[in-house]
Homo-oligomer: A and B are copies of this chain.
Amino acid sequence: MTGLLRSWIEAANAPDCDFPLNNLPYGSAIKDVAPHLGEGAFLHCVVAIGDMMLDVTTMEADGKISCGEMAGIVLDMGDWTNFMALGPETWKNFRSTLTDILKENSPHRTLAEPYLVPRHGANLVMPFHISEFTDFYASRHHATNVGTMFRGAENALPPNWLHIPIGYNGRASSVVVSGTPIIRPHGQLKGPNDDAPRFGPSARFDIELELGAIVGQPSSGPISVAEAFENIFGYVLLNDWSARDIQAWEYQPLGPFQAKATATTISPWIVTAEALAPFRVSTPARDVPLLPYLGESAPMLYDVALEVGLAPEGKAETIIARANYSEMYYSSAQQLAHHTSSGCPMRVGDLLGSGTISGPERENRGSLLELSWGGKEPFILDTGESRSFIEDGDTITLRGHAAGNGYRIGFGECVGQVLPARR
């Protein structure tokens, strides 16, 4: 495993920095950094490095960096959609160029310096156009926990679970970037002892700790797992906000719908598959063999340590869960290949949620549903307060990183505060 690649931006060389030269994640910022491109604030493609970010939209417009053939017009929209569409060769070359510019003792330092802006206070927005959003259910620990609560330990895993990367289509219009406030949803609620449903605010509003894989290349028919792996551009942290009480009443027979439609928050920095390459691990051993179309030709998960923080309004945060992406039963590549198996076309900007990431221990549970065991075992925060589900004013923060030798590939933060329901 390579060690830290040193940069002339000193903060990037700190061992606990999320964004060393080895990472170079891609974001979009609203910043008035290039007044000569027009008036006021614009959307710019930016690359995080240490405590700074490099404004590559302006660099491209000024002819100081190129994404290949389409000189000057790839990054001008200010998000990474057009860049992703150019494909893996471009992805690789551009990253190589950035590394060359930002490495210690680079001869290109003076070229880049005018385009560096502090990350602090940056107004980061959605880094790509989300075409469609699919969410999966791929942690065996999570599926077993939820299944045990709902159907008992004997029938915890549905019969198809060990064969199919179970997934459902979510709602792209509800995906928001980190920092967007989340309004507690209303919905139809019916307790087991109620005669009829009522319409009211969700009382069992929850999170799901996930990674989101971003499809960077289109496909028009079935593709293999190996092809799917090549088509994934990068990853973000993903919190799939979930109203458990709405879900319980609505989900039969066609699956979750409004319970999952309020919001899904993603972190603002796309960590590329290339940056994560040193941290690839295999999916776990199988009780039953997978059908050949789902076979992994190489390790396609990543060793990414994750944590969930919960901070009541105005109070200190408690880390309520820690888990690792390497514990998933299906990789994003397997999920994407399965997604295309029916002939379903995929497009640049499709977002695939990994499914809630839980591990084997109590502290590894990636949802409050599991942490409080369906509300039956409230857990205690460092502030002394207890929680079963999210309370108004609570801020949830996801964090994650892959740990290298003297450096880390960090994801930054994925943050959302829950506001009271409307009216």
Interface residues of A (CB under 8 A from B): 131-132, 137, 158, 160, 163-164, 166-174, 183, 185-188, 190, 196-199, 221-222, 243, 246, 249-259, 261-263, 288, 291-293, 338-339, 341-347, 350, 422
Contact = CB atoms under 8 A, between A and B. Distances in A.
Given A251-B253, A255-B254, A261 B344 contact: yes
Contact of A255 (B132, B198, B249, B253): B253
B345 A166 contact: no
A203 B174 CA distance: 36
Given A171-B169, A254-B255, A293 B199 contact: yes
Contacts of A246: 342
Contacts of A174: 343-345
- 7 smallest CB-CB distances across A and B, nearest first, come from A255-B255, A261-B344, A169-B169, A258-B342, A168-B254, A185-B342, A254-B255
A264 to B, nearest CB: 11
5 contacts: A158-B253, A163-B188, A183-B343, A197-B291, A221-B422
B422 A222 contact: yes
B344 A262 contact: yes
B199 A292 contact: yes
A132 B131 CA distance: 9
Given A166-B250, A186-B341, 14 more contacts: A137-B254, A160-B250, A163-B196, A167-B254, A169-B257, A173-B344, A173-B347, A185-B342, A187-B342, A197-B291, A259-B342, A261-B344, A262-B343, A262-B344
Per DSSP, chain A at the interface is: loop
Contacts of A132: 132, 171-173
A344 B259 CA distance: 10
A186 B250 CA distance: 29
Contact of A173 (B261, B292, B346): B346
Contact of A254 (B256, B258, B291, B341): B256
Nearest to A344: B261
A345 B288 contact: no
Residue of A158, A169, A346 with most partner-chain B CB within 10 A: A169
A348 to B, nearest CB: 11
B252 A199 contact: no
A197 to B, nearest CB: 5
